[in-house]
Structure 1
Amino acid sequence: MTVREAPPIADTDPAERVGVGGRLVLLAGSGALLAVLGVWMSGAAVPGYLRDPGAAVRWGLPVVTTLTELAGSLTLGALVLAVCVLPRRAVAGAGSAGRAGATGASTLGLGYARSLVLAGVAAAVWTVLSMVQLVLTYASVSGRPPDSATFGEELGVFVTQIDLGRTLILVTTLAAVVTALALLVATPTGAAWTALIVVVGMWQQAQTGHAAGSASHDLATTSMFMHLVGAAVWIGALAALAVLLGRLGPDLAPAVARYSVIAGWCFAAVAVSGLVNAVVRVGGLDGMASRYGALVVVKAVLFGALGLLGLMHRRSVIPRLGDGGRPRRLFWRLVGVELAVMGAVSGVAAALGSTPPPVPDEPVADPTPAEIVTGHVLPPEPTVLRWLTEWRWDLLFAFAAVAGIVVYLRWVRRLRRRGDAWPVSRTVLWVAGMALFFWTTSGGPATYGHVLFSAHMVQHMILAMVIPILLALAAPVTLALRALPSRSGSVRGDGSRGPREWLLVLVHSRIGQFFANPIVAAVNFAGSMIVFYYTEAFEWALTSSVGHIVMVVHFSLAGYLFANGLIGIDPGPRRPPYPQRILVLFGTMAFHAFFGVTLLNGESLLVADYFGLLGREWGPSAIADQQKGGGVAWGIGELPTLALAVGVAVSWARDDERVARRRDRRVDRDGDVEMDEYNAMLARMSERDGSQPR
């Protein structure tokens, strides 16, 4: 990170400044108004029967929550603009004509610096509002007004000993950290790390909503997280573009075009997560008749209107942004209406957060041992059919798998439209890998992997050894590098980073090169298993949704780097000669065998407080099941390793064939120089021997 200096700000039209401020007021005001209206409709502001914190808390909390979410959205949106949207410098070779602002001075790159300043200011507002939200939240849950004599002391206990209080103070702290970092970073990489902190804060915020019952807590949390992040990027980036409009100048057209693609993915994420949230929290058709259900319908209608506005925005305005005059006014009119509807959606969302859902958010009255330990009802005894029909949905990974298939197929289609070929076998391998990833993270392995160590080991082996082979042979990085430049505006010369630029940064970075090295990848692949299973990381993955996400991402990525280093097609690692690859592979195979045998013969139960207290009445005992999992690691894990060995051998043979064909072509063109020199050397030796006296 480096400290950056903001460039001088070009003068803008005062009327335009008023327009920007007015539209931001419209955004915040419509959200606050809809929050108040939603609270009134839901009856959430009715005084409590036992303890009432006061009207200021009942009405103020939804409004403050809405403004807090909007401030966080503006922070994330401004950072996203700096990460992958806004130009940082003039395009090489571009003339000055048509590249200047109203005053004649070039504004290229000015919006980038101001976006980071905007992110810092918005994060500061987010910090203050989060603190106010913390105070009002405690007043609401405790039923005590903030001016009570012991409120401060009780608030200290709330933020140090109660989960909700600790979560809210953590969000406030993260917002304060983002405030400082946004004003210090100067590169897209720094902005990306700062945006990641905002995403962590939103994950924490997702923990504070309705959990919709313990049985659906994980699904409700992940869907809420997707909803928050998708809506935040969508709302925040558009609001940031509105604020920065006077500084963008000729950067406006490419910035809006790039934002439009991001908004399309955000629309999909918000739509899917909103549907899942509605199903989980409403429970059924009867729940739609409640006040909560009515608010869900209002939000869905507003969301549909927002999607139509976005479609109009992309098809009508973007192609005409560079013309100036009326198209610019048209852009402002659409943006103003879209921001107003976004604020309304945010307000309804805040009202939903203040309204009890039809599915009560209450602990199970008589929980089973499995529900106490895992938070879920124990699934039925596994059979072959149930491995294929039981589902424990993981919305994040399911969305990622579907998105991966859609993007890959679009890239293939783009190549074919351009007249370039792409092997069908690679497409089939990618689709199969993504489908297998979908099932592994949401199907039978996910369902039984939380209650059976052997099932967890099946999930682990598929994630780390089967899926990565399919994906590595599908060559997604190679496809991306070939497909992305074919799209207008994807190859950027203005200092910004699109998908292709970020991909090249990751592939050629020192960290990427280090971890992609086949030897390092093998050590990481094998060594992380020991670290994971014989430390508290295993328990963290079993008991925490964050830990589970980290586990899936780590082992999937480690497996891909290992497979790509041995048999992959994608660029990146400097692969060793084939004999060394065989040695690395068989060394990893031996380690897997050792790890599996250790578990197979072990008598000490891993995470005994978890697997030993589930109260299963079916299947083997916990220790017997763990030993069975060792057999899975030893037996099933060796099959993909043998497949890798066959792949390395085939690649070795093909490489030898390519070398032989190149030599044959060189001989046909230039003659066999090496053989001629060898024969000449033999002739000279023969002459020398013949000239010597006998």
Structure 2
Amino acid sequence: MPSETVREPARDRRTTSTTVGVLVVTAGVLAALIAAALTALSASGSYAVYGLPDPGPVTHYGLPVVRVIAESGAVVCIGSLLLAAFGIPAKRSGALAADGYAAVRAAGWAAAVWCVGAALVVPFTAADATGKPVHDVLSTDVLFGLIDALEEPKAWALTALVAFVLALACRVVLSWGWAVVLFGLGLAGLFPVIATGHSAAGGAHDIATNSLLYHLFGAALWVGGLIALLAHAARGGSWLALVTRRFSAVALVCWIAMALSGVTNALVRMAPGQLFGTTYGALVALKIAGLVVLGVFGFLQRRRAVDRLEGGAGRAELLRLGAVEALVMFATIGVAVALGRTPPPAELGPVPGRTELLIGYPLDGPPTAARLLFDVRFDLVYGTLAIVLAALYAWGVRRLRVRGDRWPVGRTVSWLLGCLTILVATSSGVGRYAPAVFSVHMGQHMLLSMLAPVFLVLGGPTSLALRVFKPASKGQPAGPREWLLALVNSPVSRVLTHPVVALALFVGSFYLLYFSGLFDVALTQHWAHLAMNAHFLLVGYVFYWPVIGIDPAPRRLPPIGKVGMVFASMPFHAFFGIALMMSATVIGSDFYRSLDLPWLTDLLGDQRLGGGLAWASGEIPLVVVMLALLVQWSRADSRQARRIDRKADADGGAELAAYNEMLRQLAEDDRGR
């Protein structure tokens, strides 16, 4: 048994586990009461503000309570899956350890609570949006009609479905890989709610939604991770110091993300001077105070707890201080729910223009070259992603240099060019005009799917990470290096990098997105733009990874196979561009006409320009790919020649001598005949 393992008598473990269970229930009730009380104080006049009839006290006070139930179940579920996937070391065989399995079972029960809470939120949000008492919308026909017509009840219904799947899956999962999959599904279950509500409407809703994405994901990992850590400690789980250390690192990142995103979201919804002059601002200040206390208190107490746990003590102190932190966290959740029910000052001001309502911001004029380059609007998701990826890569290269290892400069330059391409495509004028102008959107599409992935795979990030992170020694738990290798060699990676699958995803998604009506639906939703950009990047990376990638791939293609994949994609891209140029139907015409941009009147001409960009831009990545292949083949030949020379030097040219002897023998045989 590892030295960090702490075991107690079964009776003590059961008593402590019961105490933690009571703590979670108490914290949830506290959060619900706080949410209901603050809603009563802050949001009582919101219906009159929005011109809606009051649905009655049951809806008014019941909605924040059921939301707290749903959100509490969500964070505990996600935190428990985080613990099982990346906190508690799995067995070498890939099966979950006993403590990991216990965390997954706890996640299953929390998912059931999440499912029930989300299902209860559906009729309450429908009643709240229509101004009817909740019992008036409980009829099946009425409720399903409102779910189909209203975005927020639809989002909660989808969330309830995801939670239901999680509750069932957690009953049967036994392997580490599937625990990781369920953890990703749990995070995805938060997304429908993030994409609706206050942040998804009105001016600057792109920034508000993106910041809320960081905020809620950070809260789920932080709060849920703490509850899972306390439950693990109460069970007398093994590797407690290691689990606490890993959670502390996650909590620090989450706290920074929540602080920055919370400030950004608040500035979108109100001016700094309204922080203490409005009810909304007072709730923001209260939430900020709670987060500051939690961040400082949690960091200090966990650092001290890790030191004591590594010395074989400190479990009781971790439980005691963690319980206080959990209570404050759930109280903050109650404040956050009340904040979501309070009208922000920005929504009570002048009504934004049509363009600002639809895409989140106004456009000053047509997309000239200067505006496309310098009319910057930073994308909080992909702009931040580009900067973080570049910083992590630079940190890895520096670690190697400090250790005395070398890393090719060309790979570093290639990776930074890929990050720069993502930044330009999403945060320059290209990203600003892409939601409103089809031709600019097509240019962004080509940058993200056909240029950025080429540079990124040539950077070899997996190879760099494998050299930076040392392998776990025998008897030690798996770490980032082992997780990365498991991802590279997973069945999902093998399927995605199959030449047929990669080619179908890379070129087939063009036709499916633009000629099936999906693009028309996606234009009106900000979350759909985020999903499209993620899809463009991922399918491009999956396609170019086995073709020109430096990193080890699940499938090794022969040189002719690599060239074949590249040339097989060319006609499909050409046909796609030609189809756009020849089409007489405007894709997304209803949305583009609703923008009513005075300088964009010829929508069909703009679409043909976008088709021309798609047709012509396929040549640039082809040149880069072919140059990369030629360089790689040349270097492979040089390495092979050096290996042969070293072998000849080592054995005195035995292989060459044997070959010459074979030729001599053949010549003698010919003379004899």
TM-score by length of 1: 0.86
Q: Which amino acid aligns with 2:306?
A: I
Q: State the 1:357 CA deviation.
A: 0.5
What residue number does 1:42 align with? 42
Partner-residue secondary structure (3-state), 2:157: helix
Contact 1:212 1:280 in 2 (8 A): no
CA separation of 1:650 and 1:80: change in aligned 2, threshold 3 A:
same
Q: State the 1:223 CA deviation.
A: 2.5
What residue number does 1:23 align with? 23
Q: Which amino acid aligns with 2:347?
A: P
Contact 2:20 2:234 in 1 (8 A): no
RMSD, aligned CA:
3.4
CA separation of 1:569 and 1:131: change in aligned 2, threshold 3 A:
closer
Aligned equivalents of 2:43 and 2:251: distance in 1?
34
What residue number does 2:6 align with? none
Q: Which moved more, 1:258-267 or 1:464-473?
A: 258-267
Aligned equivalents of 2:45 and 2:285: distance in 1?
21
> What pairs with 1:511-522 in structure 2 (closer than 5 Å)?
511-517=492-498, 520-522=501-503
Is structure 2 residue 109 aligned with structure 1 residue 128? no
What residue number does 1:462 align with? 447
Is structure 2 residue 249 aligned with structure 1 residue 261? yes
Q: Give deviations 1:215-259, integer Å, cap 9, x for gaps.
A: 323332332233222201210121122223232433322221222
> What pairs with 1:274-293 in structure 2 (closer than 5 Å)?
274-286=262-274, 289-293=277-281
Is structure 2 residue 362 aligned with structure 1 residue 360? no
Q: State the 1:128 CA deviation.
A: 2.8
What residue number does 1:560 align with? 541
Q: Which consecutive residues of structure 2, in runs of 5 or more, have no partner in the other structure?
A: 1-8
CA separation of 1:405 and 1:10: change in aligned 2, threshold 3 A:
farther
Partner-residue secondary structure (3-state), 2:618: helix
Q: 2:318 aligns with which of 310, 319, 331?
A: 331
CA separation of 1:191 and 1:294: change in aligned 2, threshold 3 A:
same
Q: Which moved more, 1:411-420 or 1:257-266?
A: 411-420
Contact 2:580 2:607 in 1 (8 A): yes
Q: Which amino acid aligns with 2:212?
A: M
Aligned equivalents of 1:149 and 1:460: distance in 2?
43
What residue number does 1:74 align with? 76
> What pairs with 1:145-160 in structure 2 (closer than 5 Å)?
145-146=133-134, 154-155=142-143, 157-160=145-148
Q: Which moved more, 1:633-642 or 1:645-654?
A: 633-642
Is structure 2 residue 205 aligned with structure 1 residue 217? yes
Aligned equivalents of 1:28 and 1:454: distance in 2?
50
Q: State the 1:513 CA deviation.
A: 2.2
Contact 2:99 2:238 in 1 (8 A): no
Q: 2:468 aligns with which of 462, 480, 483?
A: 483
Q: Which amino acid aligns with 1:547?
A: A
> What pairs with 1:522-671 in structure 2 (closer than 5 Å)?
522-611=503-592, 614-618=595-599, 621-671=602-652
Q: Which moved more, 1:227-236 or 1:200-209?
A: 200-209
Q: Which moved more, 1:510-519 or 1:219-228?
A: 510-519
Aligned equivalents of 1:151 and 1:13: distance in 2?
46
Aligned equivalents of 1:491 and 1:228: distance in 2?
36
Q: Which consecutive residues of structure 1, in runs of 5 or more, have no partner in the other structure?
A: 1-8, 93-107
What is the identity percentage for the equivalent residue pairs of Structure 1 and Structure 2?
Answer: 37
Contact 2:43 2:341 in 1 (8 A): no
Q: State the 1:659 CA deviation.
A: 1.5
Contact 2:122 2:154 in 1 (8 A): no
Q: State the 1:272 CA deviation.
A: 2.8
Q: State the 1:288 CA deviation.
A: 5.2
Aligned equivalents of 2:195 and 2:437: distance in 1?
27
Higher relative contact order structure (alpha carbons within 8 Å, sequence separation ≥ 6): 1
CA separation of 1:90 and 1:328: change in aligned 2, threshold 3 A:
farther
What residue number does 1:308 align with? 296
CA separation of 1:44 and 1:649: change in aligned 2, threshold 3 A:
same
Q: Which amino acid aligns with 1:382?
A: P
Q: State the 1:375 CA deviation.
A: 6.4
Q: State the 1:47 CA deviation.
A: 9.5
Aligned equivalents of 1:536 and 1:491: distance in 2?
53
Partner-residue secondary structure (3-state), 2:347: coil
Contact 2:433 2:441 in 1 (8 A): yes
Q: Give deviations 1:304-350, integer Å, cap 9, x for gaps.
A: 1111123213432212214344x223212321222122112211101
What residue number does 2:4 align with? none
Q: State the 1:293 CA deviation.
A: 0.9
Aligned equivalents of 1:579 and 1:43: distance in 2?
66
Aligned equivalents of 2:232 and 2:593: distance in 1?
58
Aligned equivalents of 1:491 and 1:621: distance in 2?
65
Contact 1:54 1:145 in 2 (8 A): yes
CA separation of 1:630 and 1:309: change in aligned 2, threshold 3 A:
same
Contact 2:17 2:235 in 1 (8 A): no
Contact 2:20 2:230 in 1 (8 A): yes
Q: State the 1:18 CA deviation.
A: 5.3
> What pairs with 1:101-120 in structure 2 (closer than 5 Å)?
109-120=97-108
Aligned residues: 663
Partner-residue secondary structure (3-state), 1:485: coil
CA separation of 1:74 and 1:689: change in aligned 2, threshold 3 A:
closer
What residue number does 1:399 align with? 384
Aligned equivalents of 1:166 and 1:461: distance in 2?
33
What residue number does 1:239 align with? 227
Contact 2:233 2:315 in 1 (8 A): no
